[in-house]
Amino acid sequence: MESIFGLLSFFGGTAGSIAIGSAVALMIILWEWRVALLGLFCVQVGVASAAVGLGQLPAEWAGVMVVVMGLACLILALSAQRMTRTTTLYQAGTWQLRALLLVLLYVAWSLADIAVPLPEVAAQLVDLFVWLTICMLVMLGMSDNPLFATIALLMWIIPIQVSTAVLVNSPALVALIGMLSLLLALAGSYLVLVEQVSVEQSAPVVTDITFPSELGIPIAPLPVMQGREVDEWVVWIQRQPWGTALMERARQFIQRRRP
């Protein structure tokens, strides 16, 4: 395990932190679930490798974190492949808007010089954790899609798990956070599948302008009048003051319709 993370020791340098931060930004800009899941796994590998390279985390614990995140990404990927109604996936604006938002947030973060006091945690990891938290909040705020919300929460668990392992130094607590990550992935997978269920049509509200056909009520056919009833109606119309004019108009209309 140590030899594997030794090959990824470059994540412990400045270039590694830039690569991890760029991967997270790319996840938000592209806003594609395959890129997001792949980026989430790469971020976990990068953060774990950086923590091992800086002497903040044992290699065995980092390996467990990577395996758990891989299982979580696999669970979400299996559910995401069944998505048919992907309307909420495209409710996060255009990629130009997302890129501009990230640039503005990065500039504001740099000017504000936000520093989170985390004792015993390397300053390089603290800055990376702050950037991951900012990107997590952006992902949660730009869409109500359960897949991206789960990815954002899993990305937030990464710095929490590493910080807890450094500060508390308890393998049981690290294992508990890993179990919570799997439960979160299962819950997100369930919500992704539930979102695909066709929504039943809601019952229409009956108003003064609601037609029976809109409520699904069968309409009875109009009664057909017999010959005697027609004669009685004609006589009644002729007795009215306006009856003669109406009958004349009807006769002219019928003559015009005849070929």
Q: Are 66 and 48 in contact (CB under 8 A)?
A: yes
Domains in the chain, number: 2
115 and 27 inside one domain = yes
108 and 33 inside one domain = yes
Integer distance in angstroms from the first to the last C-alpha of the chain? 95
The pair of structure tokens assigned to 226 is 């017999």
Q: How far apart are the C-alpha atoms of 238 and 245, rounded to whole Å?
A: 9
115 and 44 inside one domain = yes
* Residue 24, in any domain of the structure: yes
Query: Mind listing the pLDDT tens digit for each residue in 152-170?
Result: 999 999 999 999 988 888 8
CA 132 to chain centre: 19
Interval 13-37 mean pLDDT: 92
56 and 155 inside one domain = yes
The whole-number pLDDT of residue 45 equals 94
pTM above 0.85, yes or no: no
Query: Mind listing the pLDDT tens digit for each residue in 123-141?
Result: 889 999 999 999 999 999 8
Enclosing domain of residue 251: 225-259
- The better pLDDT of the pair 154, 217 is held by 154
What backbone torsions phi and psi does residue 43 show, to the nearest 5 degrees?
-65, -40
The whole-number pLDDT of residue 54 equals 85
What backbone torsions phi and psi does residue 208 show, to the nearest 5 degrees?
-70, -20
33 and 72 inside one domain = yes
The whole-number pLDDT of residue 2 equals 67
The pair of structure tokens assigned to 31 is 């806003």
Percentage of the chain beyond pLDDT 90 is: 40
Beta strands (DSSP E) in the chain are none
Q: How far apart are the C-alpha atoms of 136 and 140, rounded to whole Å?
A: 6
166 and 245 inside one domain = no
* Residue 200, in any domain of the structure: no
Task: Report the amino acid identity of residue 229.
Answer: E
List Cα–Cα distances, 98 to 25, 47, 178, 184, 196, in angstroms. 9, 24, 30, 26, 26
| Lowest mean pLDDT, pick from 117-131, 140-154, 217-231, 243-257 | 217-231
Task: Report the amino acid identity of residue 8.
Answer: L
236 and 131 inside one domain = no
